Each structure stands twice: as C-alpha cells, then as structure tokens.
C-alpha cells in the first residue's frame, strides 16, 4: 500500500466498543465507591428545606451514629479523646468548616454534648447536616 492511495480496507481498530466498556466499568466503580466508605452508617434526619452546605471534601465531618458513637472523618473516636482528634483533623487550617452528621434517632442531648465539645476545642458555628425529604442521601 502506497501513501496517498485510498485504502480499500479500514486497518484501524474500532475502539468505540472498547471505550464504551471502559466507561461502563468506570461508572460501576464510581457508584460502588461511596458505599464502600468505611465511615459510620448514619441515617440523617429528613427535613423539607435544608440549605446547601457545600462539598464533603474540605469539611471536617463529625458523625454521631445511632448508638451515640463519635466519628471524625470516618475514624471512630472515643469521647475522651474527641478534642485531640478534632484538633488533629483540623491541623493547621485557620478557618475549618465543621459539620455534624447526627443520626435521626438520637436525643438532642447527645448532639448538644458534641456541640459543646466542639466549642470547647475552640470552634464556633457548625452545620447540622440533614437530608431533603424524598432524596436518597447518606
């Protein structure tokens, strides 16, 4: 086959099915990834009009599971070490955004105690995470 001469046979591999398969695999893994998260299973309270709290990344997530166990960014933390763990999670960040993901079954006392602990570590203002009624959300 000489250059410039129109080829009769198409010699290139058809990559379209390959790309499709790869994209579908990518989608499957991305759907599975959040469910493989190690953090606690928190059943967030349902409300009608929660405000946007931004992206999960860049926030410090303090979770309180159904049994009242404390978690900071997917790490289980004992109540007596909470302030050290929170300081470690904040690190050198000057204006950290802390949010509380509390389970719907909790008493207000358990959430208030965590808020007080956060305040005693030196932070004011948190976001209380809810999920909009009718949405999936974790």
Binding footprint of another protein on the chain (CB under 8 A): 16, 19-20, 23, 26-27, 30-31, 34, 45-57, 59, 99, 102-112, 115-116, 118-120, 123-133, 137-138
Structure tokens at 17: 């099915």
**Which of 3/13 has CB closer to another protein?**
13
**Which of 85/106 has CB closer to another protein?**
106
Minimum Å gap between C-beta 132 and another protein is: 6
Closest to 45 measured CA to CA, from 124, 98, 108: 108
Report whether 24 contacts 32 (CB < 8 A): no
Minimum Å gap between C-beta 44 and another protein is: 8
Q: Write the CB contacts of 137 (distance below 8 Å, at least 6 apart in sequence).
A: 44, 131
Minimum Å gap between C-beta 81 and another protein is: 19
**Which of 77/103 has CB closer to another protein?**
103
**Which of 2/49 has CB closer to another protein?**
49
Structure tokens at 43: 């059943």
Please tell me the distance from the alpha carbon of residue 20 to that of residue 26, in angstroms, as a whole number: 10
Please tell me the distance from the alpha carbon of residue 102 to that of residue 77, in angstroms, as a whole number: 15
């Amino acid at each position: 086959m000489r250059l410039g001469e129109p080829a009769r046979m198409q010699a290139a591999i058809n990559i379209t099915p390959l790309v499709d398969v790869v994209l579908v695999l990518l989608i499957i893994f991305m759907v599975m990834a959040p469910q493989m998260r190690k953090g606690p299973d928190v059943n967030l309270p349902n409300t009608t009009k929660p405000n946007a709290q931004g992206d999960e990344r860049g926030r410090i997530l303090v979770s309180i599971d159904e049994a009242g166990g404390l978690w900071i960014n997917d790490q289980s933390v004992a109540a007596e070490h909470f302030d050290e763990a929170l300081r470690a999670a904040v690190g050198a960040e000057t204006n950290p955004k802390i949010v509380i993901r509390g389970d719907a079954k909790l008493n207000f006392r358990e959430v208030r105690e965590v808020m007080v602990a956060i305040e005693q570590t030196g932070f004011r203002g948190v976001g209380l995470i809810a999920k909009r009624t009718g949405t999936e959300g974790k």
